[in-house]
Amino acid sequence: MIPTITLASSNAHKLSEFQEIFAKTSKASVVAAPSSLSVIEDGATYHENALLKACAYYQKFKVPIVADDSGLEVAALPGELGVLSARFGGNIASSKKCELLLSKMQTVPPEKRQAYFICVLCYYRSPQEIFFFEGRVDGEIAYELKGEHGFGFDPIFLPMEATQKGDSLAMLSEWKQEHSHRARAIKRLLHFL
């Protein structure tokens, strides 16, 4: 019988990403947590925040948990996003967050628009068995929102490795499913399993 891992998130987009990748393997399956927990993510690093979530969900449900923390790192705006990416701009829609970021990048020249998405997964099997897996995608910040798919900052992030140069992650659903920061971290977890 393959193990079932519970995802410590109420984000339907994340659950969908996890399930699509897990569906391609027979090593494990991933399910949503029975209920959502409000976990204060006050860690200074992605590792700390992923661990905070994993630990809280494990203590509540007593099953193997996978939790992630991810963010967008923008070279021209050090410290403004990163572990604070989800809180960037306050409680506003993702499209407004993208617009805010673009406005802050208006005067940044093309050669200084580097950015990367990072995801750190914490696989919490028990208090004695805690493992971390990381994935990253390098790219740059676009000059406008492009694409209808994805979520968060996808419409303004141009991945370097994409076959279609100039396309945002929001235009590259199939590519993202295989190569996103989260996909890469999940694949490392599955390799470990």
**Cβ contact 6:32 at 8 Å:** yes
Instruction: Report d(CA 169, CA 171) in Å as an integer.
Output: 5
pLDDT tens for each residue of 84-100: 998 999 999 999 999 99
> What are 30's two structure tokens?
């991933």
Please state the pTM of the whole predicted model. Answer: 0.90
**Cβ contact 46:69 at 8 Å:** yes
pLDDT tens for each residue of 110-141: 999 999 999 999 999 999 999 999 999 999 99
User: Per the residue annotation, which of 42, 68, 69, 154 is the catalytic one?
Assistant: 69
The domain segmentation of the chain, as residue ranges, is: 4-192
Q: Within 13 A of 178's CA, how many CA atoms are on the CB side?
A: 6
Give the CA angle between residues 78, 71, 48 to the nearest 5°.
95
Task: State the chain's mean pLDDT as an integer.
Answer: 92
42 annotated active-site = no
The CATH number, out of the four listed (3.90.950.10, 3.90.1150.10, 3.40.190.290, 3.30.930.10), of the domain defined by the range 4-192: 3.90.950.10
